[in-house]
Structure 1
Amino acid sequence: MDDKAETRDRILEAAGRRFDHYGYNKTTMSEIAADLKMSTGNLYRFYPSKLDIAEAFARAHEVEEDAIMEGIVESASPAEVRMREFHRTVLERTFNMIDKNKKLFELAQAITQERPAYSNRRLAAERVYLEKILKDGIEEGSFDPCDNLDELAEMIQCATMKFRFPQLYNCFRIDMLRRELEGTMDLLYRGLLKR
């Protein structure tokens, strides 16, 4: 790892500690720089804004999430099982992450509101996984054929959005969300079944 990459990693670690303790809104670039014993000007050379740091922080956590999702999508289970497991995993991971650290909610909100391109890119990546499951379900003979898998994956995302974004969890308990997700998946599965 070169010096720049190492410094970027150190910045993300320091920012992560601040975000965890004080929250995104109460963290400043000068505080992150002070924690690293560097000038604020030097910090701006690596990240032009606190939002850039937050996005880089979120991207670093994508790697683990993507590995988990790929494991589900590539498993030998039937497509229906993988579709349910995919959505259960998204719900459980996101809910537990926010439930353990309420300050992450602030960071997620900032990125979603101020960087819609980031959220759209993540949704597009998720659709690729859903398309693979749908394609496999069609090939297995359990799902009805479809001419536009991308659009179908997008509609599944729309139907399950409540279980994807922590901003919507404010007034819900995990047991309620699990029950609602299972009911939603039952409806979706009935709609996907080959007639």
Structure 2
Amino acid sequence: MSSKTDTREQILEAAMNRIKHYGYGKTTMSEIAKDCCMSAGNIYRFFSSKIDIAEAMARKFNAELYQAYSEIARSDGSPSARLRRVFHYNLSQTYDAIQREAKILEVAEVLGDERPLFMNEGLAQERIYLCTILQDGVDRGEFAPIADCNYTAEMVQSALMKFRFPQLFTRLTLPKLRRELNGALDILIAGLQHGVEKTPEDEH
């Protein structure tokens, strides 16, 4: 690992520790610099703003999610079971992370407001793994033919958005959220098995 990469990781770790403790809004670049024993000017060589640090934190978290999604998409088991595993894994990971470090929720809110393109990028990446599962379901005859896999994956994501950052939407416990997620997936999977003829173009 290069010296530049080491310094960037040092800054990111210090920022994560401070944000987790004090929150995003109460953390300043000068405080992060002090924690790293360096000048504030040096921090800006690696991150141009505090929101860039928040995005880097989220990218690190997402990288672990994507690795898990990739493994689930390529694993054994029925497409329906794998689809459930993807969304249950996401629910468990994000719920537990926010329960351990409540200030992370503030980072998610800030990124949603200030970096919507980053959030959309994450959803697009997730759709790659969903489409792998959906297409396998079609190939196996478990799901009806799909006119537009990316569109179908996007609609599945939209239907389950509540479970992405659950504490943003509800105060339900994890067992109750899992029950709701299973119920929503039951309906979605039944639709995939039955088939839906409508495509985006049909709306116009």
Instruction: Report TM bin, short chain.
Output: over 0.9
* Cα distance, 1:167 vs structure 2: 5.0
What is the rounded CA distance, in whole Å, between the counterparts of 1:166 and 1:159 in structure 2? Answer: 13
- The answer to whether the aligner puts 1:66 opposite 2:69 as a matched pair is no
List aligned pairs for 1:4-15, cutoff 5 A: 4-15=4-15
What is the rounded CA distance, in whole Å, between the counterparts of 1:114 and 1:142 in structure 2? Answer: 40
Aligned to 1:105: 105
* Cα distance, 1:168 vs structure 2: 2.9
What is the rounded CA distance, in whole Å, between the counterparts of 2:85 and 2:65 in structure 1? Answer: 14
Deviation string for 1:59-110 (max 9, x for gaps)?
A: 1222211111111111011100001111111111111111111011011111
Q: Which one-letter code corresponds to 1:171 in the other structure?
A: R
Q: How many matched pairs?
A: 195
Contact 2:16 2:57 in 1 (8 A): yes
CA RMSD of aligned residues (A): 1.2
Aligned to 2:37: 37
Aligned to 1:171: 171
* Cα distance, 1:169 vs structure 2: 3.9
What secondary structure sits across from 1:193 in the alignment?
Answer: helix
| Residue range with higher mean Cα deviation, 114-123 or 62-71 | 62-71
What is the rounded CA distance, in whole Å, between the counterparts of 1:172 and 1:126 in structure 2? Answer: 25
Q: Which one-letter code corresponds to 1:193 in the other structure?
A: Q
| Residue range with higher mean Cα deviation, 36-45 or 167-176 | 167-176
Deviation string for 1:103-151 (max 9, x for gaps)?
A: 1101111111110011000000111111111000001101000120000
TM-score normalized with structure 1 length: 0.96
What is the rounded CA distance, in whole Å, between the counterparts of 1:169 and 1:94 in structure 2? Answer: 13
Deviation string for 1:42-63 (max 9, x for gaps)?
A: 1111111010011111112222
Q: Structure 1 stretches of 5 or more lacking a match? A: none
List aligned pairs for 1:37-186, cutoff 5 A: 37-166=37-166, 168-186=168-186
* Cα distance, 1:194 vs structure 2: 4.5
What is the rounded CA distance, in whole Å, between the counterparts of 1:14 and 1:107 in structure 2? Answer: 15
